[in-house]
Structure 1
Amino acid sequence: MKYGMIGAGAMGYRYGVMLQENAGVQVDFIETWAPNIEQVKAQGGVTVARDHANQHVVPINIYTPEDYTGHPDVWIVFKKQMQLADELKRDAPLFHEDQYVFSAMNGMGHFEKLADYFPPEQIVGGTAMIATVLNGPGNVDFMGPVGSETMHMSKYAGDMDATTQTMMNDFKTAGLNPIWSDNFMGMCMSKVVFNAVTNSLCTMFEIQMGQFIEYPGVKDMATQLFNEAYDACERAGIKLIETRQAEIDSVETVSHAYKYHYPSMYQDFANGRPTEVDYINGYIAKIGREHDYVCRVHEFVTHEVHLAEMMRQSKKSEV
């Protein structure tokens, strides 16, 4: 199959390059950030490294939405939650009724936006436990050893069909290690509640995941946040695909595996961009409020991250 990648950022490059290089499929990148496009064209592709080593240029096809005339079988979407609505409006002329769309973006809120353009049964969701850093325009670093990638996939509506099976096969050949789930919301929320611990707390304290896990109170903090999230999801009738204990244990496992990694929320924060905390901790709190349950810690963490954003902007303006 042919893929169209909407968003040539850290994860867009990770998925697109691995599909192109390992699965041998055609991938066209659709990008709206001009410096990114210009750098890729100037250097003949995207510069890729893994864990800061073996840096090399991978040739890719990259276009603005207005310049693209292709017709991929599947769109893959990796944009920041706050940018997605405007991006889809700009890309809308490229969408056709026979196309599927896949997204494994952080947070929640994007599938409702995708459903404005694609039938529910042609939307495939995913979660990715894959650490990647965009160093700058046209320059990306894949974190973690080869084979460490982990992801889940599920249909937004309906059962697996021939197209989603082919996607699974392509992702597997690419080395992304997909696991299928029939529990769409449980799959999505399992990743959201994980990010609500590691991403948000590492961002507030501006630390790597390895530094985070060194604090002896992390397990207690994670347990409190996870319990509150699970309580809210249970009231909403959402059964997560991981148990509470498995989520708690995963914080230690993943943090050690990516000990030198700054989560994506911190990368946005450090570069002066708005974070996605409203779509992570804020989304969990929203589920709670809608089902007569107050997620006090998640509400508090959401405010804390926004306060950190405000203070960072204030310090920049003083310089």
Structure 2
Amino acid sequence: MTLKYTVLGAGAMGLRFGVLLQELAGAEVEFVDNWAPQVETIKAQGGVYVSRDHENRHLVPIKIFSPEEYHGSPDVWIVFAKQMTLQDLLDKTAHAFDPASQYVFTGMNGMGHLEKINQYFPADRVAAGTCLIGTVLNKAGDVDFIGKAGAGSINLAAQNNQDAPWLDQLVADFTVANINPHLNHNCEGTLFTKLVFNSVINTLCTLFEIQMGQFIDYQGAERLSRQLINEAFDVAERAGVQLLSTREEEWQTVKYVSEVSNPLHYPSMYQDMSKDRPTEVDYINGYIYDLGKKYDYEASTHDFLRGLVHLAENTRQFRK
């Protein structure tokens, strides 16, 4: 029997997970978002328009609410907010939280979100994952799933690294929904491994406003990637974080996803930048640098790229 889900943060990834669970797994799914245009548009058109690789655009009926008006009671909250908006979204939805009977799965980018979620749910009721799945929110009420059906995968673990029946059922539901989950028992390492990937692809593609395939086409892509990967692994080793991959495997992941899985994809950081929204660079490259400083290590390339992204954010005002 499938679990009942509420997606908290109905952006690109939240919509993808929720729609697939609803359509393929037959799960009962509701959506909550604090971006008013998204909520109002989806309500007005009776659902969300879904495409796959820019084709077969069709309307999928979904139930969406603002945080203040939501009073449902899911088995599991699926959290996909941006790092900068998560606290506000949690606080405004807190009236519907029941940590005695509900659980949380989050697949957000960056680091820092578990600490916010733990204000409302203890670690033994939280699982976190990382997604190698391309999805684009074209505009309010219109989402594009990048890649063929079944493309992409996620790694996930309970925050306390323990097995649990609810997590087994979540994995079963995600499997039927073609999300391709891989369960492990290393939550911190899972999140940090994806952090390394994002610190390369998200940041560099955003700075040059390019797709992942265009990045990997550059003959110097490997050198740039390895420099960032090596710094991030140096930080992880000093902090005692056991990653899911080696340095070589991480480069091969960057190469494969960029060349084969999602060459036409613009990473989420670029999507934010292109729409004049703040990026999550402080929670990605900035997090790596700040963590390194705690162990007297300077991940200077990550800090430099963080500064460049903020420069690019500031420069956009002069294009208008």
* TM-score under structure 2 length normalisation: 0.97
Matched, 1:295 2:299: yes
Unaligned stretches of 5+ residues in structure 1: none
Distance 2:93 2:72 in 1: 12
Give the total of aligned pairs.
Answer: 316
Deviations 1:48-89 (A, max 9, x none): 000001111111011112222210000011111000111111
Partner of 1:45: 47
For 2:253, which of 250, 253, 257 is the aligned residue?
Answer: 250
Partner of 2:106: 103
Letter in 2 for 1:287: L
Letter in 2 for 1:177: N
1:1-319 → structure 2 map (5 Å cutoff): 1-97=3-99, 98-256=101-259, 257-313=261-317, 315-316=318-319, 319=320
- Summarize the Cα distance change of 1:228–1:110 in structure 2 as closer, same or farther, 3 Å threshold: same
Q: C-alpha displacement at 1:158, in angstroms?
A: 4.4
Deviations 1:172-224 (A, max 9, x none): 11100000111111111010000000000011111111111111000011111
Distance 2:56 2:107 in 1: 27
Deviations 1:258-277 (A, max 9, x none): 12111100000011111000
Distance 2:208 2:71 in 1: 45
Distance 2:23 2:119 in 1: 32
Aligned with 2:56: secondary structure? Answer: strand
Letter in 2 for 1:164: L
Letter in 1 for 2:268: S
Letter in 1 for 2:207: M
| Cα contact 2:292–2:298 (8 A) shared by 1 | yes
Aligned with 1:82: secondary structure? Answer: coil
Distance 2:202 2:115 in 1: 23
Distance 2:313 2:284 in 1: 16
Distance 1:61 1:99 in 2: 20
Letter in 1 for 2:21: L
Aligned with 1:48: secondary structure? Answer: strand
* TM-score under structure 1 length normalisation: 0.97
- Summarize the Cα distance change of 1:133–1:238 in structure 2 as closer, same or farther, 3 Å threshold: same
Letter in 2 for 1:278: D
Q: C-alpha displacement at 1:35, in angstroms?
A: 1.4
| Cα contact 1:149–1:175 (8 A) shared by 2 | no
Distance 2:33 2:240 in 1: 38
Higher alpha-carbon deviation: 74-83 or 158-167: 158-167
Distance 1:300 1:34 in 2: 35
Distance 1:40 1:297 in 2: 41
Distance 1:275 1:31 in 2: 18
Q: C-alpha displacement at 1:286, in angstroms?
A: 1.3
| Cα contact 2:288–2:299 (8 A) shared by 1 | yes
| Cα contact 1:186–1:238 (8 A) shared by 2 | yes
How many percent identity over aligned positions? 51
- What value does the CA root-mean-square deviation take over the aligned residues? 0.9
Q: C-alpha displacement at 1:170, in angstroms?
A: 0.5
Q: C-alpha displacement at 1:32, in angstroms?
A: 1.8
